[in-house]
Amino acid sequence: MSYGVTTVNVHKKLKLDKRQGSENWYVRLTLDNGKRVVKSTKTDNLEEAKERAIELYHETKARIKNHLPAQTRKFKHVAEYAMARMQRELDEGGGKQAYKDYFSALRIWLIPYFGNTDVAKIDLASLTAFDAWRTETNKKPFSQSGINNHNAALNRVLDEAELHGWIVKSMRPTLLNKGVKSESRGSFTDAEYKKIYTALRTWHKKTKDKKATATREVLRNYVLFLANTGVRHGTEALRLRWRNIEWQENDGERYLVVNVDGKTRKRSAVARDTVEGYLDRQSKLNPALSYDSFAQLITAKSNEHVFTTRLGAVANIASLNRAFNALLDDLGLKTGAYGKSRTLYSLRHYYATRDLKRGISTHALSKQMGNSTAMLDTKGWSRRVEFAERQYTRW
């Protein structure tokens, strides 16, 4: 590999190079393991450059002797490497959906604060200072889930730094999370759920706006789908294409399976029997689809998005949220038990509560929903099940 247009040997493993387009000398140090450290001396004077090269040599030797990395990098440069690696994984069809959240955490919070800090110098003190800055900038304490997202993004950067030898494992700090515990969203009783899906049968007729009508038509099928699969509202559900849905057989029985690109990993969710009808009705809204039967549609592995309106556009999160909130207000169901507001995400909680009430194990449910069993074992879920059982008995 050519390092420059002019090279001066300082000693066996230490050289100075002049690069094309630059007057300054660059020091090139070859380590015992064959790796090289290249750094600008920031001077065009050869004697000064030699002195700085020798200084770098002794500094590097001292770092290695003290079990420190031979060289380090600024946080923003390591973060760029980490983001590029994650993007490659996504482009190749792997990676996690959460990577996009990591990108936001890095660009909005971590790089602005740690950008010019040597990644090897990030320690408990700097993390504590960052936490204080983040709280002050945000005007309120971050939630635990938000901080977990930041920590996961930071870990990706530290992984990258360790991979390149810019930090050693023993230097990695323990990440903090003193965030505020997120408030869980409200759920629905069986009677409330029935009230919602009954109202949705005709609700699209109560507006003259074409876009609103189209959104409400999709909302009906979307609500029924979420409540009977446990799939997450938003990106997880709205990214679904018909090719992600398939029939699978087990012990002579056929099951409709939804293959989801989840928040943290891909998973297969088994839909309840009624979902076939909801999806069949939903498919008929899409003007780009023309199949004689639902079975034919599933076999065709269409690349069309599942939740597409009759206007040919994929339903968006904001429109669905707005429509569902308006429906809940009309029905007087916006606030539920314990004073908690309900959203489309509450349908996922409703799904879990019903399955727990039916005796489904938290292990099986966690696989279906892509959650940890620890979350489903919390007092909050137990309380929901008890409440649901009381409501179910009354109904």
Least confident span in 244-248, 372-376, 387-391: 387-391
Residues 6+ apart with CB under 8 A from 376: 352, 356, 362, 365, 366
For range 93-110, the mean pLDDT: 87
CB 352, CB 365: distance < 8 Å: yes
Identify the bridge partners of residue 47 per DSSP, sorted by sequence position.
Answer: none
The two structure tokens encoding residue 89: 């994984």
* Domain end residue (candidates: 42, 65, 88): 65
Grade residue 341 by pLDDT with cuts at 50, 70 and 90. confident
pLDDT > 90? residue 41: no
Grade residue 378 by pLDDT with cuts at 50, 70 and 90. very low
pLDDT > 90? residue 52: no
For range 350-363, the mean pLDDT: 76
pTM for this predicted structure: 0.56
The region that residue 251 occupies, defined by phi over 0 for left and psi between -120 and 50 for alpha, beta otherwise, is left
Q: Domain check: are 255 and 388 in the same one? A: yes
Q: Could you write out the DSSP letters of every residue in 66-105?
A: TT--S---BHHHHHHHHHHHHHHHHHTT-S-TTHHHHHHH
Number of domains in the chain: 3
Residues 6+ apart with CB under 8 A from 135: 141, 142
Of 37-41, 169-173, 196-200, 359-363, which one has max mean pLDDT?
Answer: 196-200
Q: Given this model, what pLDDT does residue 381 score?
A: 39
Identify the bridge partners of residue 25 per DSSP, sorted by sequence position.
Answer: 18
* Distance separating alpha carbons of residues 145 and 238, to the nearest angstrom: 22
Grade residue 261 by pLDDT with cuts at 50, 70 and 90. confident
Report CA-CA distances (Å) from 245 to 17, 257, 294, 300: 59, 6, 11, 11
Residue recorded with tokens 């079975």: 295
pLDDT > 50? residue 238: yes
* Domain end residue (candidates: 16, 41, 65): 65
Structure-model confidence comparison of residues 333 and 52, the more confident one = 333
The two structure tokens encoding residue 81: 């490497």
Residue 183 inside a domain? The answer is no
pLDDT > 80? residue 182: no
- Residues of the chain with pLDDT > 90: what percent? 41
136 three-class SS: helix
Q: Domain check: are 356 and 232 in the same one? A: yes
Comparing C-alpha atoms, which of 381, 395, 332, 385 is closest to residue 357?
385
Residue 93 inside a domain? The answer is yes
* Distance separating alpha carbons of residues 343 and 333, to the nearest angstrom: 10
CATH of the domain at 356: 1.10.443.10
Residue 182 inside a domain? The answer is no
22 three-class SS: coil
Q: Given this model, what pLDDT does residue 266 score?
A: 79
For range 349-362, the mean pLDDT: 77
* Distance separating alpha carbons of residues 375 and 144, to the nearest angstrom: 13
Grade residue 21 by pLDDT with cuts at 50, 70 and 90. confident
Residue 181 inside a domain? The answer is no
CB 275, CB 227: distance < 8 Å: no
135 three-class SS: helix
User: For strand 6-11 and strand 25-30, is the pairing parallel, antiparallel, or unpaired?
Assistant: unpaired
For range 152-171, the mean pLDDT: 85
The region that residue 293 occupies, defined by phi over 0 for left and psi between -120 and 50 for alpha, beta otherwise, is beta
Comparing C-alpha atoms, which of 284, 285, 301, 186 is closest to residue 242?
301
Half-sphere exposure of 53 (CA within 13 A, CB side): 26
Comparing C-alpha atoms, which of 244, 252, 254, 326 is closest to residue 279?
244
Whole-number average pLDDT of the chain: 83
Residues 6+ apart with CB under 8 A from 56: 27, 29, 37, 39
Structure-model confidence comparison of residues 26 and 366, the more confident one = 26
For range 323-352, the mean pLDDT: 87
Least confident span in 32-46, 231-245, 365-379: 365-379
Domain range enclosing 116: 75-171
Distance from CA of residue 148 to its chain's centroid? 11
pLDDT > 80? residue 72: no
Grade residue 219 by pLDDT with cuts at 50, 70 and 90. very high
Q: Given this model, what pLDDT does residue 86 score?
A: 92
pLDDT > 60? residue 206: yes
Residue 179 inside a domain? The answer is no
Q: Domain check: are 130 and 211 in the same one? A: no
Q: Domain check: are 321 and 265 in the same one? A: yes
Q: pLDDT tens for residues 276-326?
A: 999 999 999 999 999 999 999 999 999 999 999 999 999 999 999 999 999
For range 112-127, the mean pLDDT: 90
Q: Domain check: are 165 and 195 in the same one? A: no
Residue 382 inside a domain? The answer is yes
